[in-house]
Amino acid sequence: MKPVFMTYTKKDLINLAVCMVLSVLVIPTFITTEYWYTSILIPWLCLALATIGQQIVMGYTGQLALGAAGFMAAGAFAMFNLILRVPDLGFVGSLIVSGLIAAAFGILFGLPSLKVRGIYLMVATLASQFFIIWMIDKFGWFKNYDSSGIITAQDIVILGKPFTTPLAMYFVCLAVTTVLTLLAMNMARGSTGRNWMAVRDMDIAAESMGVSLLRTKVQAFAISAFYCGVAGALFAFCYLKSLEPVAFDIKLSFKILFMCILGGLGTINGAFIGAAFILLFPVLLNAIGNNVFHGAIDATIISSIEQVIFGGLMIIFMIYEPLGMAKLWENIKQKWKTKIPSSTNLKSSLSKKT
């Protein structure tokens, strides 16, 4: 299909329009319970954004990295300190600068990727996870010498207007996520993304074509950390509403890794699908536990079952569909199309015959 606007085809634009209508008009009119915003939609958007970051470095550039939550912590605490100490920056300015600070960490911890690869790189990037959390814990300055260890995030104020209701915060997250997703798509489909994928698929050939491994890998790590940093700031300010390093531990990194793999490596929409699945699945299990078994199953057992099912799914996907749910969705659509050819397809096939 030919692109009609920038790199987007007509189909992409329709999809984008549907998503925008759903998220801007349909969701706010039909979902009125606060629970959905504060516990599902806002974390979904934040984690999807972090997963896009993970996708860039892992799905597109093929560098096994595990430390997304560390960069998120860097972003979140940078945001807190920026608003506290440089109030002139404003919310959006602080958000961008905290992303850049996270990106600086990304560059630092992405450097090992030039020498080690695969599982060894994963271990090397784990250092970022532990180092950043340790640094925040160790130096009181980052937490403004707060003795309790948990600090409250400041209220979001954009252009003098407070954004404190769940719905308002949802719109803040939605706006940031939409803009960054579109930028990520532009990069992934353009020459930048081709360089990433060339490094992923065959680095020696990429180098022989003039793609610099150093620049491409470090760039991917930096962009990835930027996305994670912004996601972390939103996660802390819109979802947690408090800042504690423990919230960004290794478990969160793994969660983002799972979202990335289940959603589909090397896809942007997979990030959203994966994040939705990992967030909604426990809710679904709980609902089943409460409504079908009427609380007969203990909550702890349900959360254990959740882990078991996640583990099982990971294995099943790795074996049968390494490209994840995004690919699965494509396959289903493809089958649907071949089963029921749409009227336009019929027409064109008829006109070809005559």
Partner 1 sequence: MAIERKFKIGKPILEVKNISLSFGGVKAITDTSFDVLEHEVRAIIGPNGAGKSSMLNCINGIYKPQQGTVSFKGKEIPNITPNLMAQMGLSRTFQNLALFKRMSVLDNILVGRKLHTKTNFLEVAFQLPKVKKEEKINRERSEEIISFLEIEDIKDTPVGKLPYGLQKKVELGRALATDSSVILLDEPMAGMNVEEKRDMCRFILKVNDELGTTMVLIEHDMGVVMDISDRVVVLDYGKVIGDGTPDEVRSNQKVIDAYLGVEH
Question: Which residues here bind partner 1, judged by CB under 8 A?
Answer: 6-7, 183-184, 186-187, 190-192, 194-195, 197-198, 200-202, 204-213, 219, 223, 266
- Could you tell me which residues come within 8 angstroms of residue 44 by beta carbon, excluding any fewer than 6 positions away? 272, 275, 276, 279
Task: Specify whether the CB–CB gap between 30 and 167 falls below 8 A.
Answer: no
> DSSP string spanning 123-182?
HHHHHHHHHHHHHHHH-GGGGTT-SSS-EEPPPEEETTEEE-SHHHHHHHHHHHHHHHHH
| Torsion (CA) 118, 120, 121, 123 in degrees, nearest 10 | 130
Instruction: Report the residue number, 101 or 188, with the smaller CB distance to partner 1.
Output: 188
Q: How far is the CB of 60 from partner 1 (least distance, A)?
A: 10
Instruction: Report the residue number, 3 or 87, with the smaller CB distance to partner 1.
Output: 3
Instruction: Report the residue number, 150 or 202, with the smaller CB distance to partner 1.
Output: 202
Q: How far is the CB of 33 from partner 1 (least distance, A)?
A: 36
Q: How far is the CB of 213 from partner 1 (least distance, A)?
A: 8
Angstrom distance (rounded) from CA 201 to CA 295: 49
Q: How far is the CB of 7 from partner 1 (least distance, A)?
A: 7
End-to-end CA distance of the chain: 24
Instruction: Report the residue number, 143 or 200, with the smaller CB distance to partner 1.
Output: 200
Angstrom distance (rounded) from CA 57 to CA 277: 21
Instruction: Report the residue number, 186 or 290, with the smaller CB distance to partner 1.
Output: 186
Instruction: Report the residue number, 177 or 195, with the smaller CB distance to partner 1.
Output: 195
Angstrom distance (rounded) from CA 263 to CA 34: 27
Q: How far is the CB of 59 from partner 1 (least distance, A)?
A: 10
Instruction: Report the residue number, 44 or 196, with the smaller CB distance to partner 1.
Output: 196
Instruction: Report the residue number, 59 or 274, with the smaller CB distance to partner 1.
Output: 59
* CA–centroid distance for 260 within its chain: 8
Angle, CA 21 vertex, CA 15 and CA 25 arms, to 5°: 165
Q: How far is the CB of 102 from partner 1 (least distance, A)?
A: 16
DSSP three-state, residue 259: helix
Task: Label residue 265 exposed, middle or buried (CB < 10 Å: 0-12, 13-18, 19+).
Answer: buried
Angstrom distance (rounded) from CA 71 to CA 135: 12
Task: Specify whether the CB–CB gap between 7 and 184 falls below 8 A.
Answer: no
Q: How far is the CB of 175 from partner 1 (least distance, A)?
A: 17
Cα atoms in the Cβ-side hemisphere of radius 13 Å centred on 243: 28
Q: How far is the CB of 258 from partner 1 (least distance, A)?
A: 21
